[in-house]
Structure 1
Amino acid sequence: MRKYLMTYLIFLLIILGCTAVVAQYNSPNIRVTMLNQDPDPVQPGDVVEVRLKIENLGQETTEEVIVELLPSYPFSVYSGSAKQNIGKMQGAQTGADAVIIDYKVKVDEDAVEGDTELELRVRWSDNAYQTFTDNQIMIDVQTYDAVLAIDQVTIEDEQIAPGHVGSLTLMLKNFADGLLKDIEVTLNLNSTPFSPFRSTAQKRVFQIKSDYQIPLEFELIAKPDAEAGVYNIPVTIRYTDDLGVVYTKSDLLSMVVGQTPELSAYVKESTVVSGGKKGTVTLELANSGSTNVKFLQLTLLPSEDYEILSSTNTIYIGDIDSDDIETQDFDLFIKSVGELLLPVQVKYKDANNNPYEHTFQVPMRVYSTRERYAFGLAQIPYTTIIVVLALAGLGGYFIYRRVKKKK
């Protein structure tokens, strides 16, 4: 019984298959094949010519066949009509007898890279048609350039002092639509005062996906004798896209060598002997830093402790080189004694033209007469003392004589 049942099932399947084949070939069966695209690949914003082969594997059509392009983003019909009438098709019209048609299609400028489907519909009667929307016609779109760029530059400090280490971070971003790989980023430091520190001047990255970014950090040391200034650093980026095309591009970034000037002010000497006297006070400015100072202007500000007798309290000094000093005299009438503070204001620029302004409170000691004698800063006037004692003795003698005569 089982043997007869299996034979029946096999016979039924054969009948169904034959029925399907007969049904297929008793009606038109259209097949569309893309022969080529020109150019291949096409770039966004360009026009691509698509060549299609139309075949009929089934029965002859009773009406004319209409091929209709169904363009959707990023495609649009560039010229001609989206519909093409290719006439009636004979049965089994394939191979060399197939119909060849062309479409000129515009690719949107913002199209992304990759294979993108071009949809099509073929109609051979009012209610009989076939659509091709299942990734059957694919257009290869390739962007203009596989762009890998430095999207951001971060420097740890605004400027690097000679002999000091600074950190430089480059944010590398893939602006292309596809994968970029075998990436090399090289800093050309030959014409700069910088050297790589605890690393090399080249970084390698295996790959970066589309729209991804990755930070690359370089540690650089400025040479001890580096002069202050802005230095350009050439950067070379080499990479490969997913089609194996190798790109090399050059860029430029800047780093600054310099440091905040180290100025100090103090009283070098003074001819003022005591309070209530006038004299000359010599101020000295010292640049103990490694960067030069320029356009320096010095102002001795007013105070209740003195009067400025000089014609002006503002002096333009100009440049003070590294490890150098400048002095300036002021004539003052000192009103007070003790520890005085001279407010000295300075305005200047460093070697990179960064402006600075601050006020020093410069200490100056003014001694009283008693302190001057006590500290040996002035000699006691012995002649005056002798004269006073002599006069006192003489006065005493006359008084003694007068008293004695009265007795």
Structure 2
Amino acid sequence: MDLKLTGFICLLLLLSSFVQPVLAEDTLEDESTSDKSLGLDKGLTIDLLNQNPDPVKPGDILEVRLSIQNTGYKDLENCVLEIRPEYPFRTLAGEKPVQNIGTLGKRSEDDRIRVVKFKLGIENSVNAGKYPLKVYLYTNGNNKLSLTKELNIDIDSESNAEIEYISVEKMVPGEKTNLVFGIKNVGNSPLKNAMFSWECANDVILPVGSSNVKHINLIDLGNTANVSFEVLTNVNTKPGLYKLDMVLTYDDIEELKTITEAGTVENQKRKEIKSKAGIYIGGTTEFDIAFMEKSPTGAYTFSISNIGNNGANSVKVSVPLQANWTITDGGNSVILGNLQKGDYTIADFNLKPAEIGKDLPIKFEISYTSNDGIRQIEQKELSLYSSPFTPSAEPGMPEESGSGSLKYKAGFAMLACVACAVVYKKRQQKIKVKSAQEKELNEVNSEDPDR
């Protein structure tokens, strides 16, 4: 009786030793992609050893190290491991998404484990969160899919922005200006649904033709978006530095959860950045110069007017060296002093034209100190008629009919009259002397007729 029981138990143990490898072999032929069933039934495991960096940021390169292990009772030959990047992952140039890892020994052998590395790119537009990376393990080459696994990759997204630049530092009162703000994404995630606005204290600067608010759909990682406004300030604005208050708001990833119409969960919250900058109002002005009159001695008179919206200090007007006109007395500059907007004054220059009787262009330089303390130079040019000038002032010039030639003729006439008078006086003296001599001779002859 005991011998029969003992033999029956031994028979059961013997049968169980043959049944277990058969079950393991059958499960390897199962093509189910369930992680749980494949891992337990076939004795295959895929684990994420580590990711670098951890967490990874948008736009970075991710390196993952995977551990593949055979815990079954049979060797697995020609094993192939594949990753299939889907958003937010992408394949990098030169990196292979498929690697042949050879034979995985059975559970009692040393070569049952392989460690495999993959490098992937992370899209710039991804939000923070955990994203699945799908991994596929094939046996017998690429013929049989033995295991799939989804590895959760932690992605961190930090949004941040700054006003990188403002296109205008100075504005002229009453002059329309294109004001451009550069908004740069300096964070690790895209800026979405951004809204930018600005305001000047006491409404000194106001937008023209639009509001002071602009929307930006997306600013990608590291990019700069430009928003422009046509602005204007009052013509009578007092020169000085004025403050601009700027506000930028955009969607940020936070704990606040909302449900969209499509039924998906979004973790979005508005983030606000406030900043300020200064813009100087004032600066340069404009001048107008016009010819008024010419004196008989060759002095030309010009009027200089401040027609801009700002005052000008220490104004000086000069006639630079040029081909058509030269200064005859050496003084090519005239100091005019201060000219407020709307003021004018006059300046005289003794000029000699290169040609007579023609309209010749003449150039001027007007230098002044603007109300922001900077020395400015403005170039002006006008056409000036070169009329004849006085020969006494310039004896080398050819004679022309006019007041100058009349003076020459009058002078010559006076000289001629004086010469005639002298000649006439001398002749009269000679006649008187001859008459006296003849009279004396006649008297002598009358007294002594024999002589």
* Aligned residue number for residue 288 of structure 2: 263
Q: Does 1:121 align with 2:124?
A: no
Partner SS, residue 286 of structure 1: strand
* Aligned residue number for residue 184 of structure 1: 195
Q: 1:208 to 1:266 in 2, by over 3 A?
A: same
Given that 1:162 and 1:222 are in contact with CA atoms closer than 8 Å, whether structure 2 keeps it comes out as yes
Given that 2:132 and 2:150 are in contact with CA atoms closer than 8 Å, whether structure 1 keeps it comes out as no
* Aligned residue number for residue 289 of structure 1: 308
Structure 1: unaligned runs, 5 residues or longer: 1-19, 91-98, 373-407
Which residue identity is paired with 1:136? E
| Per-residue Cα deviation, 1:65-124 (whole angstroms, up to 9, x for no partner) | 9988667945999xxx9979986459xxxxxxxx9999887666x76455473645366x
Structure 2: unaligned runs, 5 residues or longer: 1-22, 31-40, 84-89, 254-266, 391-400, 404-451
Q: Does 1:61 align with 2:73?
A: yes
Q: Partners of 2:241 and 2:308 in 1: how far apart?
A: 19
* Aligned residue number for residue 348 of structure 1: 367
Partner SS, residue 136 of structure 1: strand
Q: Does 1:244 align with 2:268?
A: yes
The alignment-based identity, stated in percent, is 15
Given that 2:198 and 2:213 are in contact with CA atoms closer than 8 Å, whether structure 1 keeps it comes out as yes
Q: Which has the larger radius of gyration?
A: 2
- How does the TM-score come out when normalised to structure 2? 0.47
Q: Does 1:223 align with 2:248?
A: no
Q: Partners of 1:304 and 1:209 in 2: how far apart?
A: 57
Which residue identity is paired with 1:208? L
Given that 1:51 and 1:100 are in contact with CA atoms closer than 8 Å, whether structure 2 keeps it comes out as no
Given that 1:230 and 1:256 are in contact with CA atoms closer than 8 Å, whether structure 2 keeps it comes out as yes
| Per-residue Cα deviation, 1:172-231 (whole angstroms, up to 9, x for no partner) | 7879897643422122423994123455433345x4385899874534221333356887
Partner SS, residue 286 of structure 2: coil
1:320 Cα deviation (Å)?
3.5
1:261 Cα deviation (Å)?
0.5
Q: Partners of 2:345 and 2:92 in 1: how far apart?
A: 73
1:285 Cα deviation (Å)?
1.5
Q: Does 1:139 align with 2:164?
A: no
Aligned counterpart for 2:27 among listed residues 21, 24, 29: 24
Which residue identity is paired with 1:264? I
Q: 1:107 to 1:231 in 2, by over 3 A?
A: farther
Given that 1:300 and 1:342 are in contact with CA atoms closer than 8 Å, whether structure 2 keeps it comes out as no
1:297 Cα deviation (Å)?
4.5
Larger deviation, residues 292-301 vs 251-260: 251-260
* Aligned residue number for residue 218 of structure 2: 208
Q: Partners of 2:301 and 2:311 in 1: how far apart?
A: 22
Which residue identity is paired with 2:200? L
Which residue identity is paired with 2:303? E
Given that 2:310 and 2:340 are in contact with CA atoms closer than 8 Å, whether structure 1 keeps it comes out as yes
Q: Does 1:196 align with 2:203?
A: no
More helix by share: 2
Alpha-carbon RMSD across the aligned residues, in angstroms, is 6.2
1:287 Cα deviation (Å)?
1.1
Q: How many aligned positions are there?
A: 324
* Aligned residue number for residue 386 of structure 1: none
Given that 1:63 and 1:87 are in contact with CA atoms closer than 8 Å, whether structure 2 keeps it comes out as yes
